[in-house]
Amino acid sequence: MNKTPENIYPIFDRLLQRTAKEKLLGQKAKALWLTGLSGSGKSTIAQKLEAILYKEGFKTQVLDGDNIRSGLNNNLSFTVEDRKENVRRIAEVSKLFVDCGIVTINCFISPTEEIRDFAKSIIGEDDFLEVFINAPLSVCEDRDVKGLYKKARSGALKNFTGIDSPYEAPQNPALEIKTDNLTVDESAQIIFDFILPLIKYS
């Protein structure tokens, strides 16, 4: 946990508590952390999942890699330090949403165990649900949604996860979704069924 900088006096304990906000919204907050290769299906599943949650009356927020990098994190590159800073800010934002009682869906490649543990340490172990969106590299490469695999193979794009930068599969995810065997609808439904008991207000 980061220590509080000098001359900073947080007032967390004087703010309206999360439990009060959850009661108002009639739901419990959690942060789903979707990790997987580019093209594995994180964004597509997040969109479908959010639509299901909305239909069922849940308030949600999707935080998605390219969206965040086009706004809040548009000053960050893909160096090791900046990738870490990218995830630190995302996890802090995620935590703010969770503290508001919002079900938060994070879609980030987050390729290493270390970086996912870092996110978990910020969001908090009880609220962090790691979901491995798993498709073989060959399938992701065939899909090549953004044309990035082609660029990486040609050498025009360096340090691309799965090609010349490693992806460490989660060892103990809360859930694993194999998107080469499932449809988008099935994938989103499995995550919804998994999270429902955890976010239902009782």
Interacting residues toward ligand ADP by CB under 6 A:
36, 38-45, 107, 133, 143, 145, 179, 182-184, 187
Collapse the DSSP code of 106 into the 3-class scheme (helix H, G, I; strand E, B; otherwise coil) and give the result: strand
Q: For strand 128-134 and strand 31-35, is the pairing parallel, antiparallel, or unpaired?
A: parallel
Instruction: Using the minimum distance from each CB to ligand ADP, give the nearer residue, 39 or 101.
Output: 39
Instruction: Using the minimum distance from each CB to ligand ADP, give the nearer residue, 29 or 37.
Output: 37
Q: Provide the annotated active-site residues.
A: 110
Instruction: Using the minimum distance from each CB to ligand ADP, give the nearer residue, 101 or 111.
Output: 111
Quote the least distance from Cβ 150 to ligand ADP, whole Å: 14
Quote the least distance from Cβ 139 to ligand ADP, whole Å: 8
**CB under 8 Å to 56, separation ≥6 — which residues?**
192, 196
Euclidean distance between CA atoms 148 and 39, whole angstroms: 9
Which residues in 140-177 are b (16+ Cβ under 10 Å) and which e? Answer: bbebeeeebbeebeeeebeebbbbeeebeebeebbbeb
Quote the least distance from Cβ 6 to ligand ADP, whole Å: 40
